[in-house]
Structure 1
Amino acid sequence: MNIDFSGKTVLVTGAAHGFGRAIALAFQTNGARVFACDLNAEGLAETAKLGGGAIETFMLDVGNRDAVQNTIGAIEPVDIVVNNAGGVRGQVGRPIEEISEGDWRSIFDVNLSGTFYVSQAAVPAMKARKWGRIVNISSGAGLGISLTGIQAYASAKAGQIGLTRQLAHELGPFGITVNNVAPGFIRSNPTTEQQWHAMGEEGQARLLQNIAMKRLGAPDDIANAVMFFASEKAGWITGQILSVDGGK
């Protein structure tokens, strides 16, 4: 399947490593002009280096609505948005009674509010051109439970899936599709590496046994799904959630 993004401008959030980096590099390889953002300056620099200097990077806290509006306003029109920024922000699973308001809000800010703010800022230009793609990166935790046991993470990712479906119906009349990729467990960043090693050999074996393919995936597997949703090949697909998890 020949996928080409020549002439398209793409914004990828959370692009300093893992899924975001793989997605940004895939778009750049397929001809797009790519803007990659994150709060990790060192990681962003490495993403840009891997892209041969063709990927433009900037620091952005997606949970800051004003910063998002200003940044996207400076680079629009954006044709394709990939809302990948997320994660657990250093938190670990704890009993519900131990969760502070700050802990709860911190995870929602990046995983759900950020998706809303970035989409909100990009949509007016998409509407004007009657074309656009929004691809949200959720998690298997949004469809079931979180392996980490972090209540806010499972809730925010489930909320992001709901937002995907709602925006698909709102934006469809303007030629804008909104879809969601829900990755399974992939060793893609420092947090997932820590989780993998914390499982121990027995836990790792149990995780693999519950995957139909009996192996872990890679960030490129997620990037491949995003390439499809963002392409013309998926022009009549919207509001969908694609689990990329090796089979459950």
Structure 2
Amino acid sequence: MNVRFDGQTVIVTGAAHGFGRAISLAFAERGANVWACDVNRSGLAMTEQQALERNLPLNVRVVDVADREMVREFVREAGAGERLDVLVNNAGGVLGQVGRPLEDISEDDWHAIFRVNVDGAFYFSQAAAPLMKARGSGRIVNISSGAGLGVSLTGIQAYASAKAAQIGLTRQLAHELGPFGITVNNVAPGFVRSNPTTERQWGSYGEEGQRRLVEGIALKKLGTPDDIAHAVLFFASEYAGWITGQVLSVDGGK
């Protein structure tokens, strides 16, 4: 299966490291005009540098996905040629929070995780929809988590809840946007060592915890950011033209 995106405009959020970086570079390698954004300026610069080293064109912008007007301005810039083919809502995470008892969670901590994981996906989809509707086609791919289908390995209540909400948003938008030729799907990664947060999480398990985690995976190994990027490429490709509202677990088998 030779997947190409020549001439297509692709937006990827949360592109400063991990999944977002791998997804951005994967699209650029396949001919797409990629617009990558993140609030992490230094990480975004590293993504841009890796693209330059591979001689890949990549447009990067610092964008807070929880800022609706900033999102709208970025989408207007990326779609200035009146074309937006693919939107990948990857931005998310736990924002440095750790698992704590329910009664210790502040209102600000709860809402902060929802803003980046759910509000951001909503704002970007809302801004992208008119461009896709005008062309009668488009692909939206949301990146959730196994936590949205089960429980959070770290016990972070807001993260599990936000990722479940994002899956619900995926299914709802699939039905709303389907008549316009727009598909909306979701990739739910398992545990992948992809950024500083997951490295700290991995280290916190210790040797025995790490062994148990890997043993609980059918393929008996951890995945990579490229494994997640490949699933996104499939959903964004012509091969997934009659697939929408679906959640694909990319976790090595549970």
Provide the TM-score with structure 1 as the length reference.
0.99
The correspondence of residues 102-121 of structure 1 with structure 2, limited to 5 A, is 102-121=108-127
Find 1:59's aligned residue among 59, 62, 70. Answer: 62
Flag as ranges the 4+ runs of structure 1 deviating above 3 A: none
For residue 98 of structure 1, report the CA deviation from its aligned partner. 0.6
Alignment-derived partner of residue 250 in structure 2: 244
- Flag structure 2 segments of 5+ consecutive residues without an equivalent: none
Q: Pick which of 53-62 and 173-182 moved more.
A: 53-62
Aligned residues: 248
Alignment-derived partner of residue 7 in structure 2: 7
Indicate the SS of the match to 1:11: strand
Alignment-derived partner of residue 146 in structure 2: 140
Q: Which amino acid aligns with 1:8?
A: Q
Q: Which amino acid aligns with 2:43?
A: G
Alignment-derived partner of residue 39 in structure 2: 39
For residue 81 of structure 1, report the CA deviation from its aligned partner. 0.3
Residue 164 of structure 1 pairs with residue 170 of structure 2: yes
* In structure 1, distance between residues paired with 2:249 and 2:236: 16
* In structure 2, distance between residues paired with 1:154 and 1:229: 23
Alignment-derived partner of residue 94 in structure 1: 100
Alignment-derived partner of residue 80 in structure 1: 86
* In structure 2, distance between residues paired with 1:40 and 1:3: 30
For residue 41 of structure 1, report the CA deviation from its aligned partner. 1.0
| Deviation sequence 1:191-231 (CA, Å, 0-9, x none) | 00000000000100110110000000000000000000000
Alignment-derived partner of residue 25 in structure 1: 25
For residue 50 of structure 1, report the CA deviation from its aligned partner. 1.1
Indicate the SS of the match to 1:197: helix
For residue 26 of structure 1, report the CA deviation from its aligned partner. 0.2
* In structure 2, distance between residues paired with 1:140 and 1:9: 28
For residue 78 of structure 1, report the CA deviation from its aligned partner. 1.8
Of all paired residues, the percent bearing the same amino acid is 69
* In structure 1, distance between residues paired with 2:139 and 2:197: 29
For residue 48 of structure 1, report the CA deviation from its aligned partner. 1.0
* In structure 2, distance between residues paired with 1:68 and 1:222: 24
- Flag structure 1 segments of 5+ consecutive residues without an equivalent: none
Cα RMSD, aligned residues only: 0.7
* In structure 2, distance between residues paired with 1:189 and 1:209: 22
Q: Which amino acid aligns with 1:211?
A: I
For residue 170 of structure 1, report the CA deviation from its aligned partner. 0.4
| Deviation sequence 1:117-175 (CA, Å, 0-9, x none) | 00000000100000100000000000000001000000000000000000000000000
Q: Pick which of 188-197 and 77-86 moved more.
A: 77-86
Q: Is the 8 A contact 2:8 2:33 kept in 1?
A: yes
For residue 54 of structure 1, report the CA deviation from its aligned partner. 1.1
Q: Which amino acid aligns with 2:217?
A: I
Q: Is the 8 A contact 2:170 2:186 kept in 1?
A: yes
